[in-house]
């Protein structure tokens, strides 16, 4: 008797609660070096000058990234480039897209960018953060190391000229080689 009363009470209260919103999952396919080059509309070695979050629509925050182009590897125009990242902090709201590139002013990167139709053909990092390689100084050296942000590229066992932690010149040479091979 007591069980049936508790069950009835639980079901009654549950029926009054709002149903949970629909959940979505993201699956990310690892991009090969050739796909990074082929699917990119722009490839550039950049330094981020500014990051500015804004509301793209009522549900989505995007971050506008303005960057100095240090070297254009594919289809750049001008000394600066504007590209975007999903998510950001705006007023009292924070939106995170897991796996998305997270920009920081002053960061030096080699980026693979694609135009995304859903966002009005705005340039965004290709393959979430797979298309962003941080350029970091090597202590007591005159060169810089490039590291992929994407865990997915590090955990994949396939051979890749882009994956290895290497200096920025070697990464750009590998990109140029892949572009030549694609022709």
Query: Rounded to the nearest 5 degrees, what angle is found at the Cα of 134, between the Cα atoms of 78 and 181?
Result: 70
d(CA 11, CA 82): 53
Residue 23, class by beta-carbon neighbours within 10 Å (0-12 exposed, 13-18 middle, 19+ buried)? exposed
Query: Rounded to the nearest 5 degrees, what angle is found at the Cα of 150, between the Cα atoms of 169 and 96?
Result: 130
d(CA 84, CA 53): 9
Q: Please give the C-alpha separations between residue 21 and each of 17, 18, 31, in angstroms, as whole numbers.
A: 12, 9, 31
Nearest Cα to 83, choosing from 124, 52, 141, 31? 124
d(CA 14, CA 92): 31
Residue 135: beta bridge partners? 146
Domain positions in the chain are 29-182
Determine which helix (DSSP H) or strand (DSSP E) holds 93, and give its type and residue range: strand 93-95
- pLDDT bracket for residue 161 (50, 70, 90): low
Give the CATH number of domain 29-182.
2.40.50
Between the two ends of the chain, the Cα-to-Cα distance in Å is 78
pLDDT per residue as tens digits for the range 96-130? 988 888 899 999 999 999 999 999 999 999 988 88
Residue 76, class by beta-carbon neighbours within 10 Å (0-12 exposed, 13-18 middle, 19+ buried)? middle
d(CA 96, CA 86): 8
pLDDT per residue as tens digits for the range 6-48? 445 544 545 555 555 555 566 677 888 889 999 999 999 999 9
Note the pTM of the prediction, 2 decimals.
Answer: 0.78
Model pLDDT, residue 31: 85
């Amino acid at each position: 008797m007591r069980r049936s009363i508790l069950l009835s009470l639980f079901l009654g209260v549950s029926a009054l609660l709002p149903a949970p919103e629909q959940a979505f999952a993201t699956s990310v396919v690892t991009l090969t070096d050739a796909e990074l080059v082929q699917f990119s509309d722009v490839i550039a070695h950049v330094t981020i000058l500014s990051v500015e979050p804004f509301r793209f629509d009522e549900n989505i925050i995007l971050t506008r990234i303005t960057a100095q182009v240090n070297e254009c590897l594919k289809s750049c125009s001008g000394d600066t480039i504007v590209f975007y990242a999903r998510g950001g902090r705006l007023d009292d709201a924070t939106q995170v897209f897991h796996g998305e590139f997270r920009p920081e002013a002053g960061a030096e990167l080699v980026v693979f960018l694609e135009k995304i139709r859903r966002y009005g053909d705005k340039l965004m990092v290709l393959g979430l953060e797979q298309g962003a390689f941080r350029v970091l100084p090597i202590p007591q050296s005159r060169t810089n190391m490039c590291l992929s942000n994407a865990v997915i590229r590090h955990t994949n066992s396939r051979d890749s000229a882009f994956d290895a932690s290497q200096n920025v010149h070697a990464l750009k040479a590998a990109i140029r080689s892949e572009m030549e091979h694609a022709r």
